[in-house]
Amino acid sequence: MLLPESVLHSGLFAVLAAFVAINTVIYASLALSAILPKIYPTDWFTNRNRRTETRSIYPDAEG
């Protein structure tokens, strides 16, 4: 179905096109954020070893 050129240059069509573009960007960013691993900013400022005591079956062992 082809639309006449007057419809394509109308203000209502421009608003609809802007809405579809913004909606597409939002859904694409949500899909991308669901795929990527979670980012924890506290990991950048603290050391990686968060445990204060060992969880080994040998509690006196180092590391």
pLDDT, one tens digit per residue, over 8-58 is 899 999 999 999 999 999 999 999 999 998 888 777 776 666 666 777 787
Q: Please tell me the distance from the alpha carbon of residue 42 to that of residue 48, in angstroms, as a whole number.
A: 10
How confident is the model at residue 35, as a pLDDT?
94
How confident is the model at residue 61, as a pLDDT?
67
Check: CB of residue 8 under 8 Å from CB of residue 15: no
How confident is the model at residue 51, as a pLDDT?
64
Q: Please tell me the distance from the alpha carbon of residue 35 to that of residue 11, in angstroms, as a whole number.
A: 37
Check: CB of residue 12 under 8 Å from CB of residue 18: no
For the record, the structure tokens of 3 come out as 């639309």
Q: Please tell me the distance from the alpha carbon of residue 27 to that of residue 39, in angstroms, as a whole number.
A: 20
How confident is the model at residue 41, as a pLDDT?
78
Distance of CA 35 to the CA centre of its chain: 8
